[in-house]
Each structure stands twice: as structure tokens, then as C-alpha cells.
Structure 1
Amino acid sequence: MSQSSKNSLLLRKSVQSSFHWLYAFWKFSRPHTIIGTSLSVLGLYLIAIAVSSTGFSGIPVSRVLGAWIACLCGNVYIVGLNQLEDVEIDKINKPHLPLASGEFSRQTGQLIVAFAGILALVVAWLTGPFLLGMVAISLAIGTAYSLPPIRLKQFPFWAALCIFSVRGTIVNLGLYLHYSWVLKQGQSIPLVVWVLTVFILVFTFAIAIFKDIPDMEGDRLYNISTFTIQLGSQAVFNLALWVITFCYLGMILVGVLNVPAVNPIFLVITHLVLLVLMWLRSMGVDLQDKGAIAQFYQFIWKLFFMEYLIFPIACLLA
């Protein structure tokens, strides 16, 4: 083999190795949470623009980019720490994750989590005080959720509270206050932000309880008490559906009552369509099929993602 052929082969192996590592990191970051975090940064930015009527030039791109990077790093820290503490459980429930499958060593996972946590705080500190407060509180709750001796995830109520308090309240209010601070406006929170916050808060509760349905086997083996283990998968499945139904009916009511700063027609039609779609999709879910449950769980996340697009658009159309 010629030297050029050897160099070409080494380059190809290096590229493949890099791609494999990046793909493993993508799995480690839990893509659905990355997408949700990114859309929350974008959605609150659009709402802040709509409320302020300053136009897109009112908030510098650097402030939005800083918020996005800080939130993404915080996201990686939280989900990564959870994987570090749940390797044995994930070998049963989520064997495809990098630590459980052996793609990442424990030391690699620790380095990623430490770097992500530090970078999240540094970027938030450089970007704005409200963003720093939001990121710091989120990281503290994420740490308490996964790390012994507190490890709140072993208690169903506190586990759910951690998840929906961060995604439902802290992220939404913190991001809006950050953008409002950049716009040099008062720190009062408008009604439309509270409407979205309540919706996401309640919707995230449904996600928090539903996510344990496909993980029942590993959770029971390692004494992680969840609502699914306590109530059964069918009861939790039905509860999640009705919680999300309540969310959509609430948004439809907001449109019917013609709440200021949102387009009522757009709000009612979009949420009515999604509500019908969810119930139609739920009828085909076999709770004995772990794959079917996982697919419907991802569908619920897609509904969650869409809200961060639909509601800001309703505000921009007002």
C-alpha cells in the first residue's frame, strides 16, 4: 500500500471516529430535550418582540445566541448527570444511550457534564443577570433531581415537580425576564407569558409522568418509585391524555375569551386540530408494546415543541 493510500485510510478512519463520537454525544444530550430547549429560547424571544412592538432589531442577536448556548449547556449538564447516576438502570430501560452501551466511558461522561455546567454558568453570567439566575436555579434543581443523597427522582411527586417546575416555570419566566431586561423594559410579566407558562407547566407534568411508562422494568428493579409503578401504566396513560386535553381546552378558552395580544381564531383552530389529532393517535397505542409507547411519548414531545411555535405566532398575528 502506497503512503498516499495509507494517509487516505487514516483520514477516513479519523473522520468516521469523529462522526461516531459526535453521534454518541448527540444521543447523550437527549435530542428531544435539546429541541425543546431551543424552541423555548426562540418562542420567548418572539413573544418578547410581539409584546414590545420594537421589531426584531430590539434584541441583539448576541443576547439571543448567549441565551441559547447557556440553555443548551445547562440541558446537557442536567440530562448527562442523570445518565451518570443511572447507568445500570439505563442498561435495561435505555441501552442505546452512550454510557449504558459503553460508547462513552464514565470519565468521558463526567468531563462532558462538568464542562457543560461550567460553560452554562459562564455564558449566562456574560449574557445577563436574569439568564444567570435562571440557569443557576435550573442546574441546582437538576442536580438535586439526580445526585445522591437527595436524588429526588426516586420520589414520584418530587421528580415530577422538578421536571415541570424547570421547563414549565423557571425557563419561561427567566427567558422572558432576560429579553425584557435587554429591551430595558419594566420587569412585569404580561398576561400572554403567564398563559404560555401555565400551559407548559401543566403539559410538562403530563410528560413527566408519561416518560416512566416504558421504563417500568428498570425502575422497579432498582427501587425507583414512579406513578406508573404505583398506579399502573393504563391509569398513567389516561391521566397524561386528560392533562394534555385540559391544556388544549384552556388555550381554546383563551381564544374564545379573546384575551389581548393573541389572535383568537388562530389559537382556537390550531389547538382544536392538535387535540383531535392527539386522541386519534392515542387510540392505536398498545401499552404492552414498549416501542409503541416510546413512539407516542415522542409524539407528545412533538406537541410540546409545536406550542413554542404556535403560541408565539398567535402573539405576532394579534
Structure 2
Amino acid sequence: MQQRKIQIEYNLSRLKQPSINNELKSGEGGFIYKENDKKYIPKAIPKESFASEPRPYQPKHVVASVKHFFVTLFWFCYPYTMFGRILCTISASLLAVERLSDISPLFFIGILQILLPFTLIDLYVNGVNQLYDLEIDKINKPFLPLPSGAFSFKTGVIVTASSAILGFFTSYMIGSWPLFWGLLFFFLIWSGYSIKGPLLRWKKNPLLAAICIFSTMTFIFPLSFFYHMKTFVLKKAGVFPKPLMFSVVFMSLYSLGISLFKDIPDIEGDKAFGIESFSTRLGQKRVFWICVSIFESAFGVAFLAGLSSPFLWVKILTGLGNAILGSILWYRAKFVNLNDRASIRSYYMLIWKHLLTGIKELSLK
């Protein structure tokens, strides 16, 4: 028994001793395991991430998240087009005014009744176009919310669908038939312009694309806004006054120019995806100068409209104003570099600014 106890203690003490052949030491770059004069130095090797998709924007704070959403939403809706339509709303509404007493709180409520549903459908129109043009915009407009990743595709779908539903619901609650029909035609035309389907995707045909822009800016916007204000808000007979006629002619020319010009900077992506525009068919330079000539013709019409006014101050203001606008547009056209997309877009923004000014002057007649 005593001998067995001694044997157990001997074995335990032997286990506590370090092995002669095996040693584990701390060395530079990791642990060194030595066995029979062989050294193994295990090291951690970082693995590359295989995530290829860009991660969605995830702000840490709620305030930053809300701010980011609304800033992105602002650029999602093409603000320059919305500003143009807002000014068109005010201009067409002013054409319905016959006397100073018509400009009352009811008049401003009527303007808000136009702006709210049309802004929502405007958001739908721009949204559905970007959703179906996502791959093209990665080439032509990579800075937009969807191709840049600021908005996910799912977010774009939710925003677009919600805008359409809210737009028609708002129009229904207002109860104005001119407003409803204008909204419906606006929705249908631009859905057909962008959506892929049988007999749809009209933007692939340059003539149909031009008709979409022409009909919207020339007829749908000014007529629906004017008759909403005239018949629904002011409760007066729906006539077709001379200033409205000049407005329609001016917008018909200007919208035609915009419909041709808008595809000039997008020629690369349009060619890649088989979209035929006048720019891809006729060339950028030729289409550019055709557009400039059309814009000059529009300001010529506005100039003549001003001269037809019975008021001297209107003749001077609109005549001189349209002459200046046309001159600036022609002068700046000489310095546009058609090989530089930024230069073309800068001139395109100038076209929209001149449109806003021209609409202001037409409302004075």
C-alpha cells in the first residue's frame, strides 16, 4: 500500500514537470511551439470581405436618419422640374383673375389644392422613371439616389407607390373635376412613358417621348390649373382668354425644345441600352442647335404677346425681358462643350431658369 502511494505521487509530480521535447514559448509574432527541434508559428491571416454590394446608409441617430431621408427625397423628385410646375401653377392661376378682389384667401387655397396632389404625382412620375431606368442611370446619372445607393430599390418602390395613392386620394377629397382629369392624364401619360410593357415604354421612341412632354407642359398643366381656379375656386364661367392662348403657344414651343434637349447629355447610356432619341439619330450638335432655335422662337412669341397688351408698362417689361432672355440663351449656347456632360447639364439648368422667368412674364399679360 505504501509503495502504491509513492508511485502515485511520483506520477503526479512528473506531470507537473515541463516536457523536455515539447515547449511552448511566447515569441515575436505569436506563440512558438517547439517539438523535436521543429518550430511552428501560428499566425492569424486576415480574410477579405466578399461583400460586393454597397451597404445602405445607416445613420446612428434618428434626427440624422430623417434629415438624410428628406434630402435624398428632394433629389429623388427632380426639384428643377417641380419648381417649374409650381411656377406654372401660379401663372395659370393668375390668368384666371379678372379683378383684384379675386386674389383672396380663397385664391391661395386654390393654389394649394393644385400643388398638393400634383406634387405627389410629380414624385410618382419621377420615381417610376428612375426605377425603370436604374441600369441606364448608372451610366448617365450615377449621382441620383437609386444608382448612388442613397435610396434602396425597395425604398424607391414604396415612395413611388405611396405618392401615387396619396395624390389621387387628395384629388378625390378636393373634388375638383379639372384637377382630377389633369392629374389622371398626367399619371397615365408618364406611366406609359417609363413602364416596360406591351405598347408602353414610350421614351424609347423619340416622337412619343416628345409628345409626352409636349402634351403635359402645353395642355395638361396650364389648362387644368386655369380651369380649376376659374370654375371650381372662383366659380366663374370657363372661357379661353387671349393670355392663356399665348401661354399655350409659348409652352408648346418651349416644351418641344426641352423634350429634344433632355436626351443630349444621355446619349452614351441611351446607345448602350438601345433607346433611340433624336440625339442618337441626328447627333448631339445638330439637335442642340435645333433646340436653341426653338427656344428663341418661344421667346419671340412671348415678346409679341407682350406687345399686344393694352398696358404700356407690360409692353416694356415683357418685351425687354424676353429680348434679354433670348439673347442670354443664344450667347451662352456658343460656349457649351458638347463633349462635356457637366457643360451640357449646366446649360440645361439655364433653360429651366429661363422658362420660369418666361412663365412669370406671361402671367402679367
For residues 17 and 231 of structure 1, the distance between their equivalents in structure 2, rounded to whole angstroms, comes to: 45
Question: Where in structure 2 are the equivalents of 1:212-251 lying within 5 Å?
Answer: 212-251=263-302
Deviations 1:271-292 (A, max 9, x none): 0011111111111111111110
Partner of 2:324: 273
Deviations 1:145-177 (A, max 9, x none): 111211100000000110121122111011000
1:299 maps to amino acid: L
Match of 1:147 among 195, 212, 217: 195
Q: Does 1:168 align with 2:218?
A: yes
For residues 130 and 223 of structure 1, the distance between their equivalents in structure 2, rounded to whole angstroms, comes to: 38
Question: Where in structure 2 are the equivalents of 1:300-311 lying within 5 Å?
Answer: 300-311=351-362
1:14 maps to amino acid: V
Partner of 1:87: 134
Deviations 1:53-110 (A, max 9, x none): 5331173433221211111111111111100100000000000111111111211111
Partner of 2:123: 76
The secondary structure found in structure 2 opposite 1:214 is helix
TM-score of the pair, normalised by structure 2: 0.79
Partner of 2:85: 37
Which has the larger Rg? Answer: 2
2:338 maps to amino acid: L
Residue 266 to residue 60, structure 1, CA distance change in 2 (3 Å): closer
Measured after TM superposition, the shift of residue 261 of structure 1 is 7.7
State which drifts further: 138-147 or 12-21.
12-21
CA contact (8 A) 1:58 1:183 kept: no
TM-score of the pair, normalised by structure 1: 0.91
Question: Where in structure 2 are the equivalents of 1:1-318 lying within 5 Å?
Answer: 13-49=61-97, 51-57=98-104, 59-127=106-174, 128-149=176-197, 150-181=200-231, 182-256=233-307, 258-259=308-309, 263-312=314-363, 314-315=364-365
Structure 1 or 2: larger strand share?
Answer: 2
Percent identity among equivalent residues? 30
1:303 maps to amino acid: H
CA contact (8 A) 1:125 1:131 kept: no
Structure 1 or 2: larger helix share?
Answer: 1
CA contact (8 A) 1:141 1:162 kept: yes
Number of residue pairs matched by the alignment: 303
For residues 58 and 307 of structure 1, the distance between their equivalents in structure 2, rounded to whole angstroms, comes to: 26
2:189 maps to amino acid: I
For residues 99 and 183 of structure 2, the distance between their equivalents in structure 1, rounded to whole angstroms, comes to: 24
- For structure 1, the residue ranges without an aligned partner over 5 or more in a row are 1-10
Q: CA RMSD in A?
A: 1.8
Partner of 1:4: none
CA contact (8 A) 1:177 1:189 kept: no
Residue 260 to residue 145, structure 1, CA distance change in 2 (3 Å): farther
- For structure 2, the residue ranges without an aligned partner over 5 or more in a row are 1-58
The secondary structure found in structure 1 opposite 2:101 is coil
